[in-house]
Amino acid sequence: MNNNEIIKHVRGESFFIDDMNTPEDVLYGTVFTSPVPHGKIENIDIGNALKIKGVVKILDYHDIPGDNQIGAIIKDEELLSDGVVKFIGEPILLILSEDPDSGKKAAEEIKIEISPLPVITDPRESFRKGNLIVPARTFDYGDVDTAWEKCDVVVEGRVESGGQEHFYMETQASLAYPVENDGVRVHSSTQSPTAIQKTVSNVLGIPMNRVEVDVRRLGGGFGGKEDQATPWAAMAALGSYLTKRPVKLVLSRSDDIRNTGKRHPFSSDFRIGLDSSGKIVAYEATLYQNCGAYADLSTAILERALFHSTNSYFIPNVRVTGVSCYTNLPPFTAFRGFGGPQAMFVIESAIRKAAGEMGTDPVHIQRVNLLKEGDIFPYGMKTENCSIRKTWDILREKFGVEKVFKDIREFNNNSKQVKKGAALMPVAFGISFTNKMLNQAGALVHIYTDGSVSVSTGAVEMGQGVNKKMINVAAETLSIPVSLVRVETTNTTRVANTSPTAASSGADLNGMATRTACINLAERLRRVAAEKFGSKPDKIKFENGRIYDSGGDGVLNWVDLIGAAYSERVSLTSQAFYATPDIYFDKSSEKGKPFAYHVFGTALVEAELDVLRGVYKFNRVSIVHDTGRSLDQQTDLGQIEGAFIQGLGWMTVEELLFEEGGVLITGGSSTYKVPDIKFIPEEMNVEMLQSAKNPYAVLGSKAVGEPPFMYGIGGYFAVQNCISAANQDSVLDYNCPVTPEKVLISLLKK
Ligand code: MTE
Ligand code: LUZ
Ligand code: MOS
């Protein structure tokens, strides 16, 4: 199959913001940001900066005609600081210049005096000082307090997981134009066109109908542009609105890495209790979420962490508490998995530690606790079409899991300098935005008189192939070749009030809306054909661009049918809406059915360690993943492999380091390592379980964007197994990423 988007990317033909033609009068935006992690601005001197040739204007918060506010969930973040800065990289001034270089020079000439305030970077310290975004939340199920007595083994521990830089190929970028009647048009690399429309309207103090946001595609988002494309777009819009000139604002890689949020680091405590058969009887955990300086999406991310704190296991007694702690780091934000990976790393660590204590194979504990059909999650939702055991068993048979472990033991018995290890990682991930309101989407479909079809939805293409999936849905529903269908830019004037393309539900929600719009069109066309054949609408069949009468011998081709419909003055446009049915959640009891359904799967990750150097590689990964009826197999394969690698990177080599005072040490590709082609396992086996039933997404498909990320967690434990094989005395800790340096240290530990 031919994924048009990807072929264009490879050929370098795809357009991103920075490739767009800019008018001659364009101005360039440069953002002057805080050099300190916390402080009060005493004085700013822009005198010398204004003298630089090419500098047109330098804006501060006084220039904002509307609200100086960008907080999406909690209104705690200014667009341009009005006095107190809380992280290094916080925007203070917007420099507008005729060329990008003079903006940069001007920024260097700005003199700022800031009196320092105390800096906190550790979430536990912030917690002790009561510096929380909202009060702690607790999910409670069964009776944990009395359950400990029934356990044969109880172990406790601490787990740390690091942040993660999104490292999308295209940095944050926007281009804003003034349009007549006091409006603006904004092109942005954003996952949330409507969020930008709302924020720009609010910042400029103009109604939303004067703000048009248009998105062609993103050079990657991964959650980093769900909320954090907004400030840059709002600044470009502000500059454009005030100067009546186009303004382009594209962050350099180093500014992007320094000024924007990443995956939240978590620090967690757990206690787990099991009976002698390996059944988990009770589980308790406290998650300290390092939120950075502003709320951003942190509270929603913490909520999803709580939802996924028992991963794919049934545990009868659970209490998990989460706290969202402010610190003086960039506001951490959405990143593939959205808190799910952080919470799953905690329960997987707890299982490993318990297995060590009991002298049991962790694989055994994982297996006996896997969810069964009808089991209940701690938040009250029942599993349905639960395929976790099926994916586990298929993996076991198809990829000879037992033999893999046996071969590894034999290999390790005969090898001193190289040790091997492997781990299994089952995953259950809930699909729907946990904020019910966001589970809605719209589509607008036109059929032109030549039979070609135009589809607009609220979904944003960011490399995940959602456009290809929309094409497939429209083509299948109208029974026409995919070559007749084109997906337009995502534009707030065509599809309004859109949710971000996120929570893996872009294809689900927008696909449903697209399908409904196409069904409406097909119904109208069926009536036209019936009229023409002198037959009944329910006798009309669509097949491969051919329309025929199953009750007679009338036949039409697609183009003639469209021509007939047009002559008969039948509307060839349909707009449709979709809202996920039957989801609800009661925050007072923390119970409900927050997800339309779950995605399941299991991975086997195999690693090999060079004991002298501490370096490791991943030889093979085998994944059985429940895709439902795939909307596009090539795309889904890419999503499963890509998400796994990104998860593996988070667990192993991607180390985000801040100095004590909040200075980012790993601010570029020379200091922050992302997986490269050589890091990818030599052998990647992916088995898609397409038979899994799913009535809750379009055409029986299942969301695929985020769930496979968490297979990467298996990589951590595979490396840990190598370490144990090399040094039985090494004390295993649960602190990702497990970089080669850390491996070497634990190998040397006695
Ligand atoms: N794949 C690519 N190539 N680039 C991306 O930015 N984002 C991921 C995932 N896959 C991403 C990606 C994230 S975080 C999400 S939520 C989903 O795609 C969003 O798209 P979907 O809802 O259409 O699956
Ligand atoms: N974004 C969001 C998400 O706003 N709510 C969610 O539940 C979610 N889940 C995953 C990724 N992004
Ligand atoms: Mo993805 S983290 O939902 O953008």
- Listing DSSP states for 483-535 in one string gives GGEEE--EETTTS-SPPPS-TT-HHHHHHHHHHHHHHHHHHHHHHHHHHHHTS
Percentages helix, strand, coil for the chain (3-state, rounded to 5) are: 35, 25, 40
Confidence at residue 7, expressed as pLDDT on a 0 to 100 scale: 85
pLDDT digits (tens, 9 = 90+) for 221-230: 999 999 999 9
pTM for this structure? 0.98
Judge whether 706 counts as a catalytic residue. yes
Distance 2 CA to ligand 1 centre (A): 19
- Examine the pLDDT at 4 and tell me if it is beyond 70: no
Q: Closest ligand to 430 CA? A: 2
With CA atoms as reference, report the closest residue to 679 among 704, 646, 722, 709. 646
Q: What is the DSSP letter of 164?
A: B
Least confident among 13-22, 31-40, 114-123: 13-22
Residue with CA nearest ligand 2 atom 11:
503
Q: Is the CB of 192 under 6 A from ligand 3?
A: no
Residue 683 CA, chain-centre distance (Å), reads: 26
> 711 in ligand 2 pocket by Cβ < 6 Å?
no
- Atom number, ligand 1, closest to the C-alpha of residue 464: 1
What mean pLDDT is predicted for residues 326-334?
A: 98
Give the residue-averaged pLDDT of 401-408. 98
% of the chain exceeding 70 in pLDDT: 99
Indicate which atom in ligand 3 lies nearest the CA of residue 225: 4
In the chain the first and final C-alpha atoms are separated, in Å, by 55
Query: Do the strands 573-579 and 440-447 form a parallel or antiparallel pair, or are they unpaired?
Result: antiparallel
528 pLDDT more than 60: yes
Instruction: State the closest ligand 1 atom to the C-alpha of 506, by its place in the atom list counted from 1.
Output: 22
Whether ligand 3 lies within 6 angstroms of the CB of 227 is answered as: no
- Exposed e or buried b for every residue in 573-593, given b needs 16+ CB within 10 A? ebbbebebeebebeeeebbbb
Please tell me the predicted confidence (pLDDT) of residue 10: 87
Q: Which ligand is nearest to the CA of 302?
A: 2
Given pLDDT bands bounded at 50, 70 and 90, which one contains residue 691?
confident
Output the pLDDT for position 42: 98
CA dihedral 504, 506, 507, 510 (to 10 degrees): 150
Task: Specify the DSSP class assigned to residue 668.
Answer: S
185-197 confidence digits (pLDDT tens): 999 999 999 999 9
Q: Ligand 1 mean position to 189 CA, how many Å?
A: 14
Residue 728's pLDDT is 86
Region 342-352 average pLDDT: 98
500 has pLDDT over 50: yes
Tokens found for residue 503 = 């929570």
338 Cβ below 6 A of ligand 3: yes
Pocket of ligand 1, candidates 8, 190, 222, 501: which has the most ligand atoms within 8 Å of its Cβ, to mutate? 222
Is the minimum distance from the CB of 334 to ligand 2 under 6 angstroms? Answer: yes
- Contact yes or no for 123/288 (Cβ under 8 A): yes
Whether the predicted pLDDT of 219 surpasses 80: yes
- Residue positions counted in the chain: 750
- Cβ count within 10 A of residue 678: 7
pLDDT band at 1 (very low <50, low <70, confident <90, very high): very low
Say if residue 642 is exposed, middle or buried (CB neighbours under 10 Å; 0-12, 13-18, 19+): middle
Neighbours of 683 (CB within 10 A): 11
List the catalytic residue out of 149, 682, 706, 741.
706
Confidence at 3, pLDDT banded by 50, 70, 90: low
Output Rg (C-alpha) for the chain, integer angstroms.
27
Residue 730: the pLDDT is 83
The 10s digit of each residue's pLDDT in 617-656 is 999 999 999 999 999 999 999 999 999 999 999 999 999 9
